[in-house]
Amino acid sequence: MANLNTSEAIEALAAEIGDNVYIDVAKWHLYLRDAHLHTSLAERLYPLLTEDSLSEDQVLQILQSIPVELGNGRREVSLVDLLPMQCQVNLLDLLEEFQQKM
């Protein structure tokens, strides 16, 4: 993975996030790939991986800053509020593993 350019690395990160992280709505699991949130999340998280500044607080701040529209925009909820705690832990683990492979 060390030879990937930035675009390819973000795409690879987005694919990992999209396949492994989901939002929970009424006990339904909607993977971020299906919700079309994986790429924008990867674009925001990737700089943390390249700067060696990955921390749980920074990841949570990014998740907090991403609004998710519900009911065709009638309501907005931050992404962090829709991710179960286990998905947040899985996301952090995924990011650490991805960073080690870079």
- pLDDT over 60 at 3, yes or no: no
Which residue range(s) make up the domain with 61?
6-101
pLDDT of residue 96: 96
Phi, psi at 76, each rounded to 5°: -120, 140
Q: Say if residue 2's pLDDT is above 60.
A: no
Residue 61 maps to a domain? yes
Q: What is the pLDDT of residue 33?
A: 98
Residue 99 · residue 91 · CB < 8 Å: no
When pLDDT is averaged across residues 15-43 and rounded to a whole number, the result is 96
The secondary structure of residue 83, as a DSSP letter, is S
Q: Is residue 92 part of a domain?
A: yes
In a domain, 32, yes or no: yes
3-state SS class at 73: coil
Q: How many whole angstroms separate alpha carbon 22 and alpha carbon 35?
A: 9
pLDDT confidence band for 1 (50 / 70 / 90): low
Q: Per mean pLDDT, which range of 17-21, 44-48, 53-57 is the poorest?
A: 53-57
Number of domains making up the chain: 1
b or e along 63-90 (b: 16 or more beta carbons within 10 Å of the residue's beta carbon)? beeeebeeeeeeeeeebbebbeeebbeb
* pTM reported for the whole predicted model: 0.91
Residue 1 inside a domain? The answer is no
> What's the rounded mean pLDDT across residues 52-66?
94
